[in-house]
Structure 1
Amino acid sequence: RACARNNLLKTALFGNDPNWGRVLAAIGTTDAAFAPDRVDVTINGVTVCRGGAIGDPREGVDLTGRAISIDVDLGAGSEQATIWTNDLSIAYVHENSAYST
């Protein structure tokens, strides 16, 4: 959930920047027990962070499609979860700034 709610991560993805550091920053705010040097982050099939360090080149990540998949392996067990979220594009910001509550 921390990644799905992270606006800095969402803006990076909208800007075509597969910034795995923002993924690590988001999971670092949680209470999840994990060792940072065991974390793998895969964005659209490219493992950009392996063992908490640089993985495959970020240039290989295609973020031009409508859907983006981010897989985070904490290396801390076999549990799994799937979280869906929305983008933070110009259209989203415009739509949600058009009214006040």
Structure 2
Amino acid sequence: MKKTISLLFCILSISFSIAQKNNSQNSIKHIAFTDQDNKVRLEALKKLTDENAIKHVAFTDEDSTIRLAALDKLKDKNSIKHISNTDKDSKVRLKALELLN
């Protein structure tokens, strides 16, 4: 009985840790997408682990410095290729081309 309770407590503890991490990533994602301050968005981007969220920042952020930072974190070659063809800033397009080679 004690082993069963210990195991349940362990499972609950792990579940709680996972939920906290997901909540934390959601908060970071929100900041990376919406904060008015470029420096704050950049710091939030550095903490992002969700590839789709990073892709969103790389495609949509108004600041080319932040899009460059997001580009450095992207793993998806199709997204990098898309950015190399479509980004409005030539520095971002050039960096994307360099990452493809």
TM-score of the superposition, structure 1-length normalised?
0.27
Task: Give the structure with the larger strand fraction.
Answer: 1
Structure with higher Rg: it is: 2
Structure showing the higher helix proportion among its residues: 2
| Higher RCO structure, 1 or 2 (CA under 8 Å, sep 6+) | 1
